[in-house]
Amino acid sequence: MSEIIILFIGAIAAGLMGSLTGLGGGVIIIPLLTLGFGVPMHYAIGASLISVIGTSSGAAVAFVKEGFTNMRIGMFLEIATTAGAVVGALVSGFLNPNTIGIIFASILILTVLLNLKGKPDHQEELIKGSLADKLKLYGTFPDKDGIKHYASRNTIPGFLMMIFAGAMSGLLGIGSGALKVLAMDNMMKLPFKVSTTTSNFMIGVTAVAGAMIYFQRGQIIPVIAAPVLIGVVVGSFIGSKTLMISKTKKLKVFFAIVITLLSIYMMYNGVAKNFN
């Protein structure tokens, strides 16, 4: 039973760290489980996917009620992320743990770079007759100066990027939040608040599409997945409460260095074939 307590405490730390860095719990839990505790890679991915569903659903409650989440944009892009996730989860079944470790490390570095770059905040007018108009990819959100209107651009490139984000989620067991925000901020030019909350909203469904495949492959181990789930949810909750204090530039750089070292360590272990 003590192993389960250790898993649980580790998961709280991962959830806290994931929430403070804005990367999500999955990014920290996979290295912790595989390299820290020696859990086989596919079991770690299965457990991580479950924790991703938990944090996404938990956090989405608040955002949906505040009115920032655009459920139509979310639902439309979920076609892309779930399809990608199915492919990613199937491919993962054929890959050996070291290859997955190397891909994980590469995506992690990319995520850090994306996170460090300042996020643009767009607010675009609707183009009548565009694909975004036909699919109702627009909306409003409450702001201190009243109600703000926005609309989506570049629907097709955004959709394609979402397929990639979904595939990485199914392959690596992460939420791919950074990739989803990239598609919605940089490509579709949505306001920052809308893209972050809508991305969080979609992460749960995307993870489910992958999790159903891992579950039926026997790779979601109850005594690993459940303590990880509860721990990460608790950790993210604590993290979301302390988020205000820690949003300084210095901390952001510090976390970026920590995550970069972590991805180099993952890369090294992948090349040295240390994953099981």
Partner 1 sequence: MRTKPFTDIDLNRSVGNLLRLGVLLSVVTSLVGFTKLFMEGFVMPKKYKLLDMGTTSEKVWGQFWNSLMKGEGMAIIQLGILFLILTPLVRIIFALIGYLKEKDYVYVVISLIVLAIMTVSFLTGYAH
- Which residue, 1 or 245, has its beta carbon nearer to partner 1? 1
Query: Judged by CB under 8 A, does residue 148 bind partner 1?
Result: no
Whole-number minimum distance, CB 221 to partner 1, in Å?
A: 5
Query: Judged by CB under 8 A, does residue 211 bind partner 1?
Result: yes
Of 9, 71, 156, 243, which lies in the binding site for partner 1, with binding defined by CB under 8 A?
71
Query: Judged by CB under 8 A, does residue 32 bind partner 1?
Result: no
Query: Judged by CB under 8 A, does residue 101 bind partner 1?
Result: no
First CA to last CA across the chain, in angstroms?
23
Classify the C-alpha dihedral 225-104-113-181 as positive or negative. negative
Query: Judged by CB under 8 A, does residue 162 bind partner 1?
Result: no
Contact present, 133 and 126 (Cβ < 8 Å): yes
Best CA proximity match to 81, nearest among 179, 185, 167? 167
Hey, is 151 helix, strand or coil?
strand
**Contacts with partner 1 in 189-208 (CB under 8 A)?**
204-205, 207-208
Of 216, 244, 249, 250, which lies in the binding site for partner 1, with binding defined by CB under 8 A?
216
Of 134, 144, 249, 250, which lies in the binding site for partner 1, with binding defined by CB under 8 A?
134
Of 173, 210, 239, 270, which lies in the binding site for partner 1, with binding defined by CB under 8 A?
210
- Which residue, 71 or 251, has its beta carbon nearer to partner 1? 71
Query: Judged by CB under 8 A, does residue 82 bind partner 1?
Result: yes
Query: Judged by CB under 8 A, does residue 38 bind partner 1?
Result: yes
* Separation in Å, CA 12 to CA 30, 100, 237, 240: 13, 24, 9, 13
Q: DSSP of 211-238, one letter per residue?
A: HHHHHHTT---HHHHHHHHHHHHHHHHH
Looking at residue 142, what DSSP letter applies?
Answer: E
C-beta neighbour count of 264 within 10 angstroms:
13
Contact present, 202 and 74 (Cβ < 8 Å): yes
C-beta neighbour count of 3 within 10 angstroms:
11
Whole-number minimum distance, CB 3 to partner 1, in Å?
A: 4
Whole-number minimum distance, CB 229 to partner 1, in Å?
A: 7
Of 221, 238, 256, 258, which lies in the binding site for partner 1, with binding defined by CB under 8 A?
221
Of 110, 126, 131, 212, which lies in the binding site for partner 1, with binding defined by CB under 8 A?
212
User: Which chain residues interact with partner 1 by CB under 8 A?
Assistant: 1, 3-4, 38-40, 43, 50, 53-54, 56-58, 60-61, 64-65, 67, 69, 71-72, 75-76, 78-79, 82-83, 85-86, 89-90, 93, 134-136, 204-205, 207-226, 229-230, 233, 276
